[in-house]
A and B are shown apart, each in its own frame.
Chain A
Amino acid sequence: MSVVFKANETFRDDFTFRNSPKAIRRFPLPFVDDEYMYSVNIEPHTPGPKGSVTEFAIDVDEHYIAECKDREIVLLEDPLRYQALPHMMSAQWDVLELIMESMSRDYPELFSLTKTGNRWAWTNRPLGIHTEFTFGDAATLPREPLDYITRQVQGDWVVMDQREGDLFAEAGMVTTPADWSLDFDIGMTFKEWHGPVPLAHELSVFTRALKFLLNLRLNEPVRRLNWTMTIHPRLDTSPEFYYRWGKDRASVTPESVADDAHLRVELQGLWRLPRSNGIVFSIRCYLISMRELASVPKWARRVHRVLKNLDPALVDYKGLTRYRDTVVDWLAPFDDGAPTSPGAGPD
């Protein structure tokens, strides 16, 4: 497969981010039904269909270079988006290994990794990086291992230590958050970190999810999809910069909604880490504008129905209150009432 990178698109200021027709068709719509209910919906992270975002453990798509550049911009301004507590060093190496091995195995024309004992050589062609280092010796890398490698992969990465029958978020790279902050959450337990989701606690879904994750096995990663909406294709919707993007929510008009309102889908993956016995949580963000989405007739119908009937508590929690009706009105003409086919994929 060959990826044509849109290296110069932007996720800020002039927002030149767009999806190619191919990227639209592989968009991971999270709605398998015309109705949305909160659930933990965890499934094994096994290879999906060819060309889909789950074909490989870590997806590299046309936005790769631009997303890595956006991460650098965020880190320059706010270095605390990367943090790692000292006892997480073995987990950092675990994550570096996971990412390098997956990307070099699945995209050999883009990335390569050679190992001679502990001497590793890593080549990242899209970003023009070549590094030789000693696995396990942080002094041989230009940055801490997690910092180094997560600047070369899409998505946010949070690393959890497992102890006392709980999981603690104690390292991470978070530059594309849907309104949450690593700096605020670092050191928190699994439940504290997931605290504010309405309807979720009542269902004790997190108690069950935690139990499940404590027994997560090596080589058996899992995934789930989560979603929200964002105005403009802005990756960094962090609480730190709320003053920059919060006001966008009030700016949506019937004229601007098609290009400004984006569905924001997170492909979340969880892996047990071998040396540290920790767990890494990756949160990969996919964006699609309403105009792009409506180019798939099934999706226009389905998303119209989902948003129209969404539980008010979720509308509020996801921050859609100011513009949900505008989106629903824009999608309405695409919904002729015809039934949608099963599953989330395009027809």
Chain B
Amino acid sequence: MSHANTILVRVSAIEPLTPLIKRFALSPAAGGFLPAFSGGSHIIVVMRGATRVHRNPYSLLSPPNLLDSYQIGVRRMEVSRGGSMFMHDHVRIGSELEITHPVNLFNLDKLARKHILIAGGIGITPFMAQMEDLRAGSVPYELHYSVRGPEHSAFRDRLLERHGARIRIYHDSANDFIDVEGLLGNQPLGTHVYVCGPAGMIEKVVGTARIAGWSGSHIHWEQFSAPPVGDAFDVFLAKSGVSVRVPPDQSLLEAIEAAGVDAPYLCRGGVCGECRTKVLEVDGVLVHNDHFLSSEEKESGRAIMPCVSRAQCTKLVLDL
């Protein structure tokens, strides 16, 4: 069950939003409409490059009720395995791509009495769609959006136009930062907080909320770790009887797929748990980059999330 269910789309618009972020509109190649989705959902975009296939998760930022195309925001990552560079440099209007059906791992809580959304940089994208859902409802919400400087605030005009005073934008360049303690210190009962952005921001918000006594079920965060680059290593897939070399700029999951072995996945960002794989043997250390396994599980060395994690070893044997 990995990617049998993809949809062929055609790029129908490309628009630079900031010096680093481009917006892509993806329309169904067969015409008609794309599947409905809920705010906070992401898709996996399959990019077939000349030498390899990239599969990257992107949050849907278009309004959930507009289904003639999906929109995604892609930030150009210089140090990466190449998916975002492929999107920026090789994808043109008219290019065909495959996408998966949307998956939502960053759901708005339907019982919340108030929603506080906190975004950093490209982390704004899931909120764009969520706020359309919120705008149609009656529960109060507010967005705190932190960017490096005015030229980096993608969607500024659209946000202000659609949500007016519910939006507050902060510019690092002006030394204007979100006062997380102040924000979370005094909120009505039943408030939920959602954060999406760089790791440091997520830690700060989640940590502050916990200290302020928020219940874990009221704190939501999403961070797709882009699979980090690392040293090359070899892996043996015991069930398939296949040896695979994982190069520095490819993830373990990508290398497994490139070798023709079908492995499960959902988010490709270390969040959902779907790709969890049993480690049968390792003669070095596992480099866990996921947000799914508990620290005990990570230490035990018996499981790995191949979508984002790697190993520093000469021999790794997986139950695949």
Contact = CB atoms under 8 A, between A and B. Distances in A.
B1 to A, nearest CB: 7
Contacts of A274: 35-38, 102
A151 interface: no
B38 A276 contact: yes
Interface stretch (B104-112, B170-178, B236-244, B282-290): B104-112
A215 B274 contact: yes
Using C-beta atoms within 8 Å of the partner chain, give the interface range for chain B.
Answer: 20 to 34
Interface stretch (A74-82, A156-164, A254-262): A156-164
Contacts, number: 52
A211 interface: yes
B5 A217 contact: yes
14 contacts: A97-B36, A163-B111, A217-B5, A217-B266, A219-B101, A220-B5, A274-B36, A274-B37, A275-B37, A275-B38, A275-B64, A276-B38, A276-B110, A277-B40
Interface string A198-218: 000000000000010001011
Contacts of B8: none
A218 B102 contact: yes
Interface in A78-105: 87-88, 90, 94, 97
A276 B217 CA distance: 18
A218 B103 contact: yes
The listed residue with most B CB atoms (<10 A of its CB), out of A94, A164, A211, is A164
A204 to B, nearest CB: 16
Contacts of A163: 107, 109-111, 217
For the residues of B in contact with A, the DSSP-based class is loop
Contacts of B110: 87-88, 161, 163, 276
Contacts of B111: 87, 163
B273 interface: yes
Interface of A: 44, 87-88, 90, 94, 97, 161-164, 211, 215, 217-220, 274-277
Contacts of B5: 217, 219-220
Contacts of A44: 1
Contacts of B109: 163
A215 B273 contact: yes
A171 to B, nearest CB: 11
B272 interface: yes
A104 to B, nearest CB: 16
Interface of B: 1, 5, 35-38, 40-41, 64, 101-104, 107, 109-111, 217, 266, 272-274
B38 A277 contact: yes
Nearest to B107: A277
Contact of B266 (A87, A94, A215): A215
B273 A211 contact: yes
Given A215-B273, A219-B5, A219-B35, A277 B266 contact: no
Nearest to A93: B36
A179 B147 CA distance: 56
A249 to B, nearest CB: 41
A97 B33 CA distance: 14
Nearest to A170: B110
Contacts of B104: 277
Contacts of B36: 94, 97, 274-275
A326 B1 CA distance: 45
Contacts of B217: 163-164
Nearest to B104: A277
Nearest to B5: A219
A180 to B, nearest CB: 24
Given A274-B38, A277-B38, A217 B107 contact: no
Nearest to A118: B65
Contacts of A87: 110-111
Nearest to B110: A87
A275 B36 CA distance: 6
Contacts of A90: 38
A162 B107 contact: yes
